[in-house]
Structure 1
């Protein structure tokens, strides 16, 4: 039996995971023409059968196009493959009668300010916040403690800046306003909104929650590293996170409180949290597959395909889930200093180590390495497995010590 999947916006990792499955999939892609033209070769991968074009970034045009295409093909499932496609995709799915996360959840998980408002009302712990459109508003919010300025409706830590001094507000605000995502965002005029919130200290995790008909079926906790300083680009993840029972239970309780408050129906939720001295505090939540190879880490450890489980709940069906693990997996993004790259040494360790699952290095001699401010600035990664957390960390440390980026 063939499962026909309509994906709005290409998620390469998602599509590739279906190739590795023992099930038969046909994937149809609805994409922004401008984004397709910038990397058309990516759409030739199996099992993509057809690509059509529509605006979906801050556009409702896709809703009618999805409905018409569904009448032609009779898709088994429809899924967002890009953050900026989430809202329109789920709206069309609701119209067509497909299982979906629910209107309240979708609205909140595509707008960080709305998420804050709802979670404030239902008592989910989170930082103080304010919607802003000027430096005056930010300065009034600032109370001699670190704050974070962020876009309400962007992705991948783009434009998210920490401010510790009042005199730095104007520069951070200007930086937030003028960020670019390059070819990932269309050139037509789009509207971005902004907010400010207290910076909270603590270690960071994410929860990947599979929800079916309002019931949480699976909650994985992923440990997260970020770049530090004034930016929040993610630089590493470990699955599963090894945290104390007290923090784990408080985290899962807060996550369940959030899902219930959002009236979550069916879907995959990727929420991010800081664990503080007072307990967990919500950073944000997406209602799509997580990035940064987290689904691949989950598959390595739990031995099931998170992407396929996501499709199953969107089909209103019980997914195949394994709840036990006896290993760990992690990903690290390379963090070279900014400057002109002369050479890279020690790469052989990535080829020689049996614990390296995969790696990617998009850098060559003469290239200018930019500071890592968001996910799009990263130049590559390596993924590693270990029988224990200690073994995993030891292997990662060996790799970090061996690979050197010579910068001038």
Structure 2
């Protein structure tokens, strides 16, 4: 009998991984999201819904699929907005999944921080609530601090507050927003990393650690990622220990996870910034595949039904892989191209997100960057040379 995998969200890497594992992959995608030809070529079928967060509509579609195929093996999502629906529907069908409380605890940063209070190495001072819960004349915690939406992602609406004056300005700017729930956390000064993990029946496997580049304060927009991270053994061990403890405490049972951490220069410790029960964005899993040959999407799917995936022997990172994001000046894109043909074998992929004639937006978050380039080679220095050569060769004209 055919194995049937339903993926909520048109994930290119997820669909390909499911197909490689022998599943008939059925994609349920929101009407507002474009679907690439890589998905349409590989998926068994694609079903359009109004929203991935409408679990009732999706459940009806899943029941329609069940009538046709007689059996569904997995319902999963690799995208943030599909995680809750995938959990609810999987539990209704008695399929392996992370419980709804786990999804909510990672999406809602206040719930995550509350759970972390149970652990001395994970707890962090924080305040959370609507704008009405904060007063512009009173600092919520000691400065400097970060304030961001409770369920935010992609560096959207993240603000750095250094003093009382900036807090008052932020409060006045957002005082009419009565719907958004915010979380306030201490600003952690230090380098940032992320961890890709896989869980199966509550046990965890660490795929690798990524070194992150950001614009820094005040918006902390991610500008690049490098694999493997350059770490000494002690810091590496601390990150691994903290990651596994956090996954266990939150209650993650299955699938891929993406955990963002920072080294706290002031207190000499690792601090978890965010957790997600999905792969990292920004092509991070692809960087790890380039470096180790291990596909996080593939082993993530396997983790739901094959605990032996955790026995995978981690190969040494044989390649250094990096992504750099491009930012352009605001204006109308008049032309784009290259002075010479791209022939560098280290360059694995590149893209300019704007077409000629479109308005280039100011880079305000991860969703307004202008393009990217991915390279993989035997050394970081070689990657750097490839990046510099690409940028030197790139011809962009903006008015």
TM over 0.5: yes
1:215 aligns with 2:212: no
What's the CA shift for 1:176? 6.7
Q: In structure 1, what is the Cα distance between the partners aligned to 2:390 and 2:168? A: 40
Partner of 1:330: 322
1:300 aligns with 2:298: no
The answer to whether the 8 Å contact 1:131/1:196 transfers is yes
The answer to whether the 8 Å contact 1:233/1:374 transfers is yes
Q: In structure 1, what is the Cα distance between the partners aligned to 2:327 and 2:205? A: 36
Q: In structure 1, what is the Cα distance between the partners aligned to 2:23 and 2:375? A: 28
Q: Give the TM-score taking structure 1 as reference length.
A: 0.85
What's the CA shift for 1:228? 2.5
Structure of higher RCO (CA pairs closer than 8 Å, 6+ residues apart): 1
Matched position secondary structure for 1:141:
coil
Alignment of 1:282-301 (within 5 A): 282-301=272-291
Aligned CA distance change for structure 1 residues 58 and 14 (closer, same or farther; 3 Å): closer
What's the CA shift for 1:136? 6.7
What's the CA shift for 1:53? 4.1
| Deviation per residue, 1:193-230 (Å, 9 max, x gap) | 22222211111111111111111123310111122231
Q: In structure 2, what is the Cα distance between the partners aligned to 1:133 and 1:61? A: 28
The answer to whether the 8 Å contact 2:12/2:36 transfers is no
Partner of 1:264: 252
Partner of 2:344: 353
| Deviation per residue, 1:165-190 (Å, 9 max, x gap) | 433335545777899xxxxxxxxxx9
Aligned CA distance change for structure 1 residues 287 and 143 (closer, same or farther; 3 Å): closer
Aligned pairs, how many?
392
Alignment of 1:133-148 (within 5 A): 133-134=130-131, 137=134, 139=136, 140-142=138-140, 145-148=143-146
Q: In structure 1, what is the Cα distance between the partners aligned to 2:36 and 2:397? A: 32
Gaps in structure 1 of 5+ consecutive residues: 180-189
Matched position secondary structure for 1:109:
helix
Alignment of 1:25-36 (within 5 A): 25-32=23-30, 34-35=31-32
Matched position secondary structure for 1:35:
coil
How large is the RMSD of aligned CA atoms in angstroms? Answer: 3.0
Gaps in structure 2 of 5+ consecutive residues: none
1:226 aligns with 2:231: no
Alignment of 1:13-92 (within 5 A): 13-18=13-18, 21=20, 23-32=21-30, 34-35=31-32, 39=34, 45-54=40-49, 56-62=51-57, 64-65=59-60, 68-69=63-64, 71-72=66-67, 73=69, 74-92=71-89
Q: Give the TM-score taking structure 2 as reference length.
A: 0.87
Aligned CA distance change for structure 1 residues 402 and 42 (closer, same or farther; 3 Å): closer
Aligned CA distance change for structure 1 residues 175 and 17 (closer, same or farther; 3 Å): farther
The answer to whether the 8 Å contact 1:340/1:407 transfers is yes
1:8 aligns with 2:3: no
1:371 to 356, 362, 367: 362
What's the CA shift for 1:109? 1.1
The answer to whether the 8 Å contact 1:149/1:176 transfers is no
| Deviation per residue, 1:299-342 (Å, 9 max, x gap) | 11111221111111123443384511211111111022334445
